[in-house]
Structure 1
Amino acid sequence: MSETEKAPERSVVGVPARAAALKLLDAVLRRGLPLESALDRAAQGLERAEDRALAHAIVAEVLRHLTDLDALIDSATAKPLPDDAKARFVLRIALVQAIRLGTPPHAAIATVLPLVDGGPKRLVHGVFGALMRKGVTMPDPPSLPGEVGERWARTWGEAMVEAAARMIAVPPPLDLTLRDPAATAAWAETLGGESLAPGHVRLAAARVTELPGFAEGAWWVQDLSASLPARLLGAGSGHALDLCAAPGGKTMQLAAAGWDVTAIDLSDSRLKRVGENLRRTGLKAKLLVGDALTFTPAGPADAVLLDAPCSATGIFRRHPDVLHRVRPRAIAGLAEKQRAMLARAASWVKPGGRLVYSVCSLEPEEGEAVADAFLASHAGFVADPVAAAELPAGFAPDEAGRVRVLPGVTADADGFFVARFRRAG
């Protein structure tokens, strides 16, 4: 067990939330766990929802500014602290509260010092005090992790990296997909939001369950980029398979567009949440627990949508942990899995039917390379180019008729890749 896992719980006001934040940060940075999935375990014992939310907010903000926080810490120590040193973890938590979250410095340090009982309390207190006396601030926009910025610069250029840094610096907007696209203007006015496209409204951050239309299921939360794959299947009256369906936004889009939908996902718990949202919205779909690599449907479908498991680097502003967890080896492994899934999904498409492949990734190994390999190995399929008129304003297909959403190039939306294919009739 690492020293960062040994944080003691304290009854002092404010300390339990910081202890949970320490455990959560350790789970992400040392053990490579996703932030959201590690939260429940890290927050065990917190009685108040506010403390759980605070622990999550602290860690998310640390992850957004990790590179710059570590640079500050290193500037105030005689020699760099080890990456996994408890003192470094605790200083990150204290500094981000004081500099970014508006916590008074005395409270920021007082609520973390108990976490280093028996450890380098004097060092933590001294480094924090020295930085506060200097009046240090954070760069705006923040610095991306070095290897991520270098990788994206090689692939997409420096302008994309600068745009990504600007995106991670601010909270993402709240995008809603409407059950009835014809009511877009009315809902934009009711919600005080912006109409982005037919069936899509954007708001500032809000308490979702308290917004008009939630209880009656008039809309669901879904980033504009995430709505593209289902949009590119259009309206239909045939059978559609939605693979890796959770959290269910695409399933509901397809059902609202008239498709007879079968939604398949490996996770029973996530699929249950899809069912809850279907009931809330009054939409219907058949839900099946299954692995897209081994599942066999009852028969071929008119349309198959594969939103494949991926590195999720395209949703870094909502999940900043991906920038620190995902390595090139993982990207290569995920791309290989996507190729296998896409090949299997293709066998379920009827002659003349459509196949859509998408990933919320900014890595070309997971998007363009997978699509190219599929066409090269499946003579029965052809590219089905996307027309500009099919896309919301601000989006455009590439030269091959595929959709690549990039920070700073496309509309303010999550990173995504979408390719559409058609099976020969």
Structure 2
Amino acid sequence: MAKPSRSDDVPGLPARRAALRLLDAVLRRGEPLELALHGAAQGLPPADRALVHAIAAETLRHLPDLDALIDGATHQPLPHDAKARMVLRVALTQLLALGTAPHAAIATALPLVDGGPRKLVHGVFGTLARSEPSLPQPPTLPADVETRWAGQWGKAMPQAAAQAYALRPAVDLTLRDAGQTEQWTETLGGVSLAPGHVRLLGAASIPELPGFDEGAWWVQDLAASCPARLLGQGQGRTVLDLCAAPGGKTMQLAAAGWQVTAVDQSKKRLERLSDNLRRTGLKADVVQADLRQWSPAAPADAILLDAPCTATGIYRRHPDVLHRIGPRQIAELAELQAELLARAAEWLKPGGTLIYATCSLEQAEGEEQIARFMAAHPGFTAQAATAAELPGGIDPTPQGHVRTLPATLAQQGGTDGFFIARLRRSVH
């Protein structure tokens, strides 16, 4: 007689256990998805790690809708942090978002609640599977996020954000030589929305594309390329790229003729920056340091501070931010940004240019941050961005800043959410 299989022998179960650990790290401990993935999926082969990431990311993307399905199939609501609810989320994500067969989804779900309410999980999943449910498109934003964004931007903004959430973000490339835009657009079969930019029109294996090995371009969202665009040509002048890793803006600045000092606190991210510089053949001085303790040897002609932020502007790629970020995190990061901005301002030559940028959709990290800085630093004035300096469809605000929102370039595939301000230090 065959020996009964243990639950650990169920094919694919280790990946589902890892997905459960990863979701717990994000939702209960507030850890970023990408950082928590290493610990949660440790020891798994690359294909399983990719599956763990996919399950967790799609669960987070559809979390309000998954919970609505679960609550509609239970007599009494399960606690928000109940293991049975989390297991059902994982099973339903596989069924409804990843195309996993029902029997495979439940076979890997039940062992996750060993010693727990297996009958409940089996019954709820079976009821839902038989009803042939679907996830709404676009996904529903978390209620607190929708309320917060509507309060800042109006009701149309979270509606546009939900629409963008449903779409795969475009892959943008920044070219080392903007003069070859037409050539690379044709070679890569993409479209260009600005000099030095190509947007790919389909999925692709980035390292296998023409131009990757010779460093002719690098992946960088179109909005993320705008801060460096506002500094123009360097002509041998000095620039500090602060919070620089993984290096997209450093490479832009180096390619534009600036003498770049790239500073970042993360050793691992700086290794990626150095790898990117080697691949592209571009030069920069790379410094690992905490900006709260470091200072340059001499003032710089220009400074680009891409400040640490909530990253709510990249929620399409990182759905965990919508579940980890709330008023407390926004306030804490706004205080850090204010500290770094004030320090960076001291490192600028008279007449120099300071670019402040965040990939955030929160006004506290953008518009309000700059208003507070300007009130405290009368020696700085806003230097308005011009339409000629920006990609078509990204227009300066009435204050001369740059703000991309979910509706920006929506018909062309959208952009990340960014705020950018250009300030000039007086010569006296």
TM-score where L is the length of structure 2: 0.96
The aligned counterpart of 1:193 is 190
Deviations 1:294-350 (A, max 9, x none): 211010000000000001000000100000000101101111111111111011111
The aligned counterpart of 1:4 is none
C-alpha displacement of 1:422: 0.5
| Cα 1:33–1:350 shift into 2, 3 Å | same
Over 6 Å off, 4+ runs = none
1:211-360 correspondence runs (5 A): 211-236=209-234, 237-360=236-359
C-alpha displacement of 1:205: 2.9
Structure 2 gaps, min length 5: 1-5
C-alpha displacement of 1:11: 3.1
1:99-118 correspondence runs (5 A): 99-118=96-115
Q: Could you tell me whether the CA contact under 8 Å between 2:358 and 2:366 is conserved in 1?
A: yes
Q: Could you tell me whether the CA contact under 8 Å between 2:408 and 2:415 is conserved in 1?
A: no
2:205 to 202, 207, 214: 207
1:69 partnered with 2:71: no
CA distance in 2, matches of 1:182, 1:260: 21
The aligned counterpart of 1:51 is 48
Letter in 2 for 1:306: L
C-alpha displacement of 1:10: 2.0
C-alpha displacement of 1:410: 4.6
The aligned counterpart of 2:90 is 93
Q: Could you tell me whether the CA contact under 8 Å between 1:9 and 1:16 is conserved in 2?
A: no
CA distance in 2, matches of 1:13, 1:202: 39
2:139 to 139, 142, 161: 142
C-alpha displacement of 1:78: 0.9
C-alpha displacement of 1:158: 1.5
2:27 to 6, 29, 34: 29
The aligned counterpart of 1:125 is 122
Question: How many aligned positions are there?
Answer: 417
Deviations 1:151-192 (A, max 9, x none): 101111121111110111122111111111111111111111
The aligned counterpart of 2:426 is 424
Letter in 2 for 1:30: R
CA distance in 2, matches of 1:68, 1:34: 21
| Secondary structure, aligned partner of 2:364 | coil
Deviations 1:71-120 (A, max 9, x none): 10010011111111111111111101111111111111111211111111
The aligned counterpart of 2:155 is 158
CA distance in 2, matches of 1:13, 1:82: 29
Letter in 2 for 1:34: P
The aligned counterpart of 2:3 is none
Identity of aligned residues (%): 65
CA distance in 1, matches of 2:7, 2:197: 45
Q: Could you tell me whether the CA contact under 8 Å between 1:160 and 1:409 is conserved in 2?
A: no
The aligned counterpart of 2:378 is 379
| Cα 1:191–1:117 shift into 2, 3 Å | same
CA distance in 2, matches of 1:217, 1:229: 21
More off after superposition, 195-204 vs 243-252: 195-204
CA distance in 2, matches of 1:9, 1:286: 53
CA distance in 2, matches of 1:177, 1:108: 41
Letter in 2 for 1:331: I
CA distance in 2, matches of 1:181, 1:400: 28
The aligned counterpart of 1:5 is none
Structure 1 gaps, min length 5: 1-7
CA distance in 1, matches of 2:120, 2:378: 65
Letter in 2 for 1:88: R
The aligned counterpart of 1:171 is 168
Deviations 1:343-371 (A, max 9, x none): 11011111111000000000001100110
| Secondary structure, aligned partner of 2:303 | strand
Letter in 1 for 2:382: A
Letter in 2 for 1:333: E
CA distance in 2, matches of 1:20, 1:182: 47
Q: Could you tell me whether the CA contact under 8 Å between 1:230 and 1:254 is conserved in 2?
A: yes
Q: Could you tell me whether the CA contact under 8 Å between 2:404 and 2:416 is conserved in 1?
A: yes
